[in-house]
Amino acid sequence: MSPSVRRFARREWGPLLATLRREAAARRWRAVPLTLTAVCLTAFLHFAQNQERGYGPVRAIGAVRAEDPLWLALLRTPLSLFVPALDLPVWGALAQVLLVFGVAELCLGRWRTLGIAYLATLCGTLYARVGIALGPGTPFGLPASDAQVVDTGPSAAVVGLAVYVCWRQRAYWTGAAVVVAMVVEVVVKPNLAGKEHLAAIVGVLALMAFRAWRERGQGVPDPRPGTRSWKPPIRS
């Protein structure tokens, strides 16, 4: 590996790896209770919805469609985050949750991770309604048939968390790569899921812009490498 590549890797992922090592060494498995709960809940809901008696109840409490009344969709949205899609391998969803939620929980903390995950999921859910209202004749529109597509799974939350963590840990090129990958996904396969991923990114970018504006206004310094992103450096 050339020196320039090593310098890039150290600059891009050094702060992130330092935070992960410190938090994991300090609390071990106790550092990621949200992640472990999310993985277990996703696995349980996948098992339940594949049973004859479990399919109906899981759909009733965790299946979100754009054709549903808004109040019902909002009520189901929190659990829909953990209901994996039936037509995709569940191991992919579990691996995404374990990796991205785990990294986010170590870097951001439990409640910030959960809040950003739900923000990203909610942006995707609300976009589906807007896209259908716009119609297929516009760049951001969707066909009316997508109103019946079940919007489930953690993918929007995973994408949103990945972008936010990269920003807070200064892994800007990695965050940009995630965004570009989602754009390419929509170009290659312009379906509801891909466009919801972009809506999740837009929501998280808006949050990032607000946080940056607020921190500049309050004079909060940028986090030093190896520190949690919202905690100021300790001064003796």
pTM: 0.88
Within 53-109, residue ranges assigned H as helices are 55-62, 70-80, 90-96, 102-108
CB 45 within 8 A of CB 82: yes
Which pLDDT band, with edges at 50, 70 and 90, does 137 fall under? Answer: confident
Q: Which of 178, 207, 19 is nearest to 115 (CA)?
A: 207
The 3-state DSSP class for residue 170 equals coil
| pLDDT average, residue stretch 114-125 | 95
Per-residue pLDDT reduced to its tens digit, 7-56: 889 999 999 999 898 888 877 767 789 999 999 999 999 999 999 899 99
Per-residue pLDDT reduced to its tens digit, 66-105: 999 999 999 999 999 999 888 778 898 999 999 999 999 9
Q: Which of 80, 50, 49 is nearest to 63 (CA)?
A: 80
CB 151 within 8 A of CB 80: yes
Within 68-170, residue ranges assigned H as helices are 70-80, 90-96, 102-108, 110-134, 155-168
Distance CA 143, CA 54 (A): 30
Per-residue pLDDT reduced to its tens digit, 158-179: 999 999 999 999 999 999 999 9
